[in-house]
Amino acid sequence: MYTAIHAIYHRPSSGCEFFEYEETEGYYLAKCKVLGRYLTKDAAIKCENYWRTCPYRKIGLQMMEVEETTS
């Protein structure tokens, strides 16, 4: 992970249920639970603004549906 591309200097926020962030030394790191990794700040901005049309979110929602029907 590289601070230059991952560090976010405002508290990130997204309506996506798969979006997470953590606060570290003076900046935030955003994570996607579908991708299972940290997001670059450019990707995190897309999560903030365009989460409704994110293809990974659609995959995540489908995975949740499968889990619900098999459990």
Closest CA relative to residue 44, chosen from 59, 58, 60, 28: 28
Min dist CB 53 to ligand SF4, Å, is: 9
In whole angstroms, how large is the CA radius of gyration of the chain? 13
Size of the site for ligand SF4 (CB under 6 A): 13
Ordered alpha helix ranges (H), 14-54? 41-50
Min dist CB 36 to ligand SF4, Å, is: 10
Site string for ligand SF4, 2-41 (x = CB under 6 A): ------------x-x-xx------------x-xx------
Tokens 């990974």 correspond to 56
